[in-house]
């Protein structure tokens, strides 16, 4: 989905969903055509969901989407802004120990914000298939789409505790990479741009799937917006 389509869909959804961020979102776009995670002053922004909260039923229930988007993601945005303010205050006072303390807190919350923002746009009411350059790279590196999907599913299901499975692009090596992330920021790799992220924190599935993380991960592949993943790859390749 390009920026115009995303905006148009947001406007269409606006009549049925109350997005307090919507006007701010439309009014403060920066250059990245997919994401707007911060405004021009550097404040973190909780951009609108690209679909209605019940749109992903039955794979993902509306209550889970509501709680996940509004509180888990939303609170990460609030916390990131709070910690960023604390860092600015501490910098003004020259209190570097406090800068260090709040920077670590900011990294966790801003990483949550980044991954959740990507996560929502990775999901779609209309299932699509990987094609073009994305599919070519997947087949070249992993042998087939099925094999890559199996690897991504395996890593996602087997995260220790809370975390994410991630298909990313590594611009330094011009290669795709499949990573397992603990919490929101651990086990990552310098430079990798996330293309497709799978949230396996319990809040992402527990209401519907209970303890069956494997079932949730397998089910999620029916919702992947591969056009969004392909668009992310197209942007990321420009960084090489
Ligand atoms: Mn989450």
Instruction: Confirm if 169 and 193 have CB atoms less than 8 A apart.
Output: yes
Q: Is residue 127, in this structure, part of any structural domain at all?
A: no
pLDDT tens for each residue of 3-42: 444 444 443 333 333 333 333 333 333 345 578 899 999 9
CA of 76 from ligand 1 middle (Å) equals 10
One pLDDT digit (tens) per residue for the chain, 240 residues: 444 444 444 433 333 333 333 333 333 333 455 788 999 999 999 999 989 999 999 999 999 999 999 999 999 999 999 999 999 999 999 999 999 999 999 999 999 999 999 999 999 988 799 999 999 999 999 999 999 999 999 999 999 999 999 999 999 999 999 999 999 999 999 999 999 999 999 999 999 999 999 999 999 999 999 999 999 999 999 999
CA distance 138 to 167: 10
Residues 21 and 97 occupy one common structural domain:
yes
The residues near 28 (Cβ < 8 Å, ≥ 6 apart) are 36, 39, 40, 45
Same domain as 83, residue 22: yes
How many structural domains does the chain have? 2
In a domain, 114, yes or no: yes
Residue 71 has a pLDDT of: 98
Same domain, 8 and 44: yes
CATH of the domain at 192: 3.55.40.20
Residue 200 and residue 103 share a domain: no
Q: Which residue is listed with tokens 């606006």?
A: 14
- Measured in angstroms, how far is the CA atom of residue 204 from the centroid of ligand 1? 5
Output the CA 191–ligand 1 centroid distance in Å.
22
Do 118 and 198 share a domain, yes or no?
no
Distance 73 CA to ligand 1 centre (A): 6
Q: Rounded to the nearest whole angstrom, what is the distance from the C-alpha of residue 199 to the centroid of ligand 1?
A: 6
The answer to whether residues 98 and 192 belong to one domain is: no
CA of 72 to the centre of ligand 1 (A): 6
Whether residue 164 is contained in a domain is answered as yes
Domain range for residue 224? Answer: 132-237
| pTM summary value | 0.86
Whether residue 194 sits in one domain with residue 158: yes
CA of 122 from ligand 1 middle (Å) equals 13
- The answer on 75 and 20 residing in a single domain is yes
The reply to whether 96 and 204 lie within a common domain is no
Q: What pLDDT does 125 receive?
A: 83
Which pairing describes strands 193-199 and 163-170: parallel, antiparallel, or unpaired?
antiparallel
Residue 193 lies in a domain: yes
Rounded to the nearest whole angstrom, what is the distance from the C-alpha of residue 186 to the centroid of ligand 1? 15
Q: Does residue 144 share a domain with residue 48?
A: no
d(CA 135, CA 226): 10
Last residue of a domain, one of 78, 93, 122: 122
């Amino acid at each position: 989905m390009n920026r115009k389509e995303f905006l148009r869909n947001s406007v269409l959804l606006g009549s049925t969903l109350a997005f307090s961020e919507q006007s701010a979102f439309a009014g403060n776009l920066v250059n990245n055509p997919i994401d707007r995670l911060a405004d021009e002053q550097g404040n973190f922004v909780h951009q609108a969901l690209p679909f209605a909260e019940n749109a992903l039923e039955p794979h993902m229930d509306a209550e889970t989407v509501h709680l996940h988007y509004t509180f888990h993601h939303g609170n990460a945005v609030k916390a990131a802004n709070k910690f960023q303010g604390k860092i600015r205050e501490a910098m003004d006072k020259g209190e570097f120990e406090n800068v260090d303390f709040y920077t670590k807190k900011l990294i966790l919350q801003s990483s949550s914000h980044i991954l959740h923002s990507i996560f929502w746009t990775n999901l779609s009411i209309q299932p699509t298939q990987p094609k073009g350059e994305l599919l070519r790279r997947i087949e070249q590196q992993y042998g087939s789409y099925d094999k890559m999907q199996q690897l991504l599913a395996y890593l996602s299901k087997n995260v220790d505790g809370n975390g994410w499975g991630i298909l990313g692009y590594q611009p330094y090596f011009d290669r795709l990479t499949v990573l397992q992330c603990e919490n929101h920021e651990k086990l990552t790799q310098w430079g990798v741009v996330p293309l497709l992220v799978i949230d396996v924190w319990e809040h992402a599935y527990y209401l519907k799937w209970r303890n069956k993380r494997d079932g949730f991960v397998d089910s999620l592949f029916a919702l992947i917006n591969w056009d969004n993943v392909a668009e992310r790859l197209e942007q990321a390749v420009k960084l090489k």
